[in-house]
Amino acid sequence: MTEAKPKNRDDLFAFLDGLGIAHSTRQHAAVFTVAESVSLRDEIPGGHTKNLFVKDKKDQFFLLTVEEHAVVDLKTVHALIGAASKVSFGKPEKLMEYLGVIPGAVTAFGAINDTGNNVTFVLDVDLMKEEIVNCHPLSNDATTSIASADLVRFMEATGHKPLVLKVTA
């Protein structure tokens, strides 16, 4: 039996289009960290994201999507998100298995690949106050802009009910 190939950028855009969700994408050099992506701020308006793929001791996985400069206390966030214990970063193999992305390309759009609902998605309330949110479209060489309300609608259409919580300091 062959494993299903993760959905890619074209699949994501077709899915968004099918939902009637407006989106725009800007190509750029691959960026792997928030620091590397700062130069794009003047070119791409809206809230820019940082994504933390974490797990608890019971192997429950979470994707925390926050504003790029926000601080998340990994020693206490477990109590806010319903984790069974303190959290640690998930392994790259699980990131690819569940979200279909590599480190540096982590994105809330990975929900399209989590067909088994293995990941709980957490959107920080401060990020969701932004009219437009910017995320990688399953690869880190582009940024896709989408209305924050439409990001929630996208996630719900993938079978996920994201938690919108204050998880930042």
Chain position carrying tokens 């979470």: 62
pLDDT of residue 59: 96
Residue 2 has pLDDT above 60, yes or no: no
Higher pLDDT among residues 102 and 34, named by residue: 102
Domains in the chain, CATH or no CATH each: 28-165 (3.90.960.10)
Q: Are 141 and 29 in contact (CB under 8 A)?
A: yes
**Whole-angstrom distance, CA of residue 133 vs CA of residue 145:** 6
Chain position carrying tokens 């994707």: 63
Vertex 125, ends 90 and 166: CA angle to 5°? 65
Residue 41 has pLDDT above 80, yes or no: no
Higher pLDDT among residues 169 and 99, named by residue: 99
pLDDT of residue 45: 86
Residue 36 has pLDDT above 70, yes or no: no
Q: Give mean pLDDT, residues 126-142.
A: 96
Whole-model pTM: value is 0.92
Among 159, 157, 131, 123, CA closest to 51: 123
pLDDT of residue 43: 75
Give whole-number Cα distances, 44 to 36, 77, 158, in Å: 14, 29, 26
- How crowded is the C-beta side of 164, counted as CA atoms within 13 Å? 12
